[in-house]
């Protein structure tokens, strides 16, 4: 085995042109695989973060006529014990209302929260660009787009027309920007007590929102939660059932990424096999002499297996380096007007290791064909025919 390794190393050194060609082929294959895989993963993670990262993954909604949840402390308790995967649980009081300002009356959505709980889902505090979150009753924060549309500013009183036809004033203590125009233009975020007064629902809520540790397990966790809840007039919804088109798009991206990577690996494998097979023909006389001197068929085969292994190791390391270079270039040239990358790159150490391992395995498997050819060479015929 040691002799086969030394001969393999000598063959690689003597045929530098072929060696460099194979290493470049493996490197480019690994780099393309790493670049495309990391790009698709970054795109998917960014898309998920934008769409559901700061929103409820699972929501408990009432199905009764009043559309309210009574005795919600029990619901919160049962939600807590349902699964350790459930995190960031927040009760909410929602309902339509109208905002009356000098020039018009617009429909808005009153959203009453325990701000401390809701902040873990919606990142409310970090998205308030002026003022603060509501701390007392009859305080409210409004979105950037609604503030521009209505002309209301920090410290003003927002006149709310309740569903019952009455009106009350809420003091604007903050302005937020949740990066979604439809939210910024319609949500009035206040305390649960204030929202309950506006909607006249006493000490009740209209939903329980929560997030889970693994977003793609939301449907399974929601199903388990529905069995845990003792109250009958409740429905458990999850983001996957409500975003089928998004899931289809993500699955399509994943499938296309895998197909591209598979074709790249097949191309690398075929390229290595063909070059090493030609190498067997070119070195058939040398192999014949070695066999005539007593080298075994097994060792003759190992020469090309070791060649494939060494080429795979070198190509994998160079390919990973080249892949990182492509990713860095992409983040420097494909940028938004503010200088941030169009698609944030997600570095997955496991995926990088897997890409290098696949390249190594591909090179080793590709070497089996020339290894088999070399084992069948007849030394007498090779030396006789030149």
Question: In this predicted model, what pLDDT tens digit does every residue of 104-144 receive, in sequence order?
Answer: 889 999 999 999 999 999 999 999 999 999 998 899 999 99
What tens digit of pLDDT does each residue of 17-38 get?
777 877 887 788 888 888 888 8
pLDDT of residue 367 exceeding 80: no
State the Cα–Cα distance between residues 190 and 196, nearest whole angstrom.
Answer: 10
The model's pTM:
0.71
Which has the closest alpha carbon to 140: 178, 192, 92? 192
Mean pLDDT of 264-278: 70
Q: Give the confidence band of 72 by pLDDT, cuts at 50, 70, 90.
A: very high
User: In this structure, what token pair is assigned to residue 250?
Assistant: 């993500």
Which has the closest alpha carbon to 307: 263, 275, 260? 275
- Give the torsion sign (CA, 364, 366, 370, 376): positive
Classify 106 as helix, strand or coil: strand
Least confident of 77-81, 131-135, 173-177, 360-364: 360-364
Question: By percentage, how much of the chain surpasses pLDDT 70?
Answer: 86
Judge contact between 96 and 112, C-beta under 8 A: no
What tens digit of pLDDT does each residue of 173-223 get?
999 999 888 899 999 999 999 999 999 998 999 999 999 998 889 999 999
- Tokens 């409820």 label which residue? 56
Q: Give the confidence band of 292 by pLDDT, cuts at 50, 70, 90.
A: low
């Amino acid at each position: 085995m040691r002799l086969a390794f030394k001969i393999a190393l000598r063959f690689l050194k003597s045929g530098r042109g072929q060696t460099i060609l194979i290493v470049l082929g493996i490197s480019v294959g690994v780099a393309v695989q790493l670049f495309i895989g990391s790009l698709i993963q970054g795109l998917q993670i960014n898309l998920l973060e934008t769409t559901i990262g700061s929103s409820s993954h699972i929501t408990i909604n009432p199905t009764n006529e009043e559309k309210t949840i009574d005795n919600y402390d029990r619901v919160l308790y049962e939600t807590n014990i349902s699964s350790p995967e459930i995190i960031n649980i927040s009760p909410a009081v929602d309902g339509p209302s109208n905002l009356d300002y000098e020039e018009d009356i617009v429909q808005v959505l009153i959203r009453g929260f325990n701000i401390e709980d809701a902040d873990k889902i919606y990142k409310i505090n970090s998205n308030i660009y002026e003022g603060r979150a509501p701390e007392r009753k009859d305080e409210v924060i409004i979105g950037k787009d609604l503030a521009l549309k209505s002309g209301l500013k920090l410290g003003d009183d927002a006149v709310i027309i309740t569903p019952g036809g009455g009106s009350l004033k809420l003091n604007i203590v903050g302005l937020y920007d949740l990066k979604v125009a439809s939210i910024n233009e319609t949500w009035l975020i206040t305390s649960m007590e204030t929202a309950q007064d506006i909607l006249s629902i006493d000490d009740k809520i209209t939903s329980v929102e929560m997030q889970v540790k693994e977003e793609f397990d939301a449907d399974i966790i929601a199903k388990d939660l529905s069995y845990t809840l003792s109250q009958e007039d409740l429905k458990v919804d999850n983001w996957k059932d409500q975003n089928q088109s998004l899931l289809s798009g993500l699955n399509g991206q994943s499938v296309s990424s895998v197909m591209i990577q598979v074709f790249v690996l097949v191309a690398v494998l075929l390229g290595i096999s063909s070059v090493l097979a030609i190498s067997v023909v070119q070195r058939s006389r040398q192999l014949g002499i070695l066999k005539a001197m007593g080298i075994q068929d097994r060792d003759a085969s190992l020469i090309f297996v070791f060649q494939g292994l060494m080429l795979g190791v070198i190509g994998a390391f160079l390919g990973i380096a080249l892949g990182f270079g492509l990713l860095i270039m992409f983040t420097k040239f494909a940028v938004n007007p503010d200088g941030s990358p169009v698609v944030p790159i997600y570095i997955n150490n496991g995926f990088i290791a897997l890409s290098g391992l696949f390249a190594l395995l591909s090179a080793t498997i590709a070497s089996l064909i020339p290894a088999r050819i070399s084992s069948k060479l007849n030394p007498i015929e090779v030396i006789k025919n030149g």
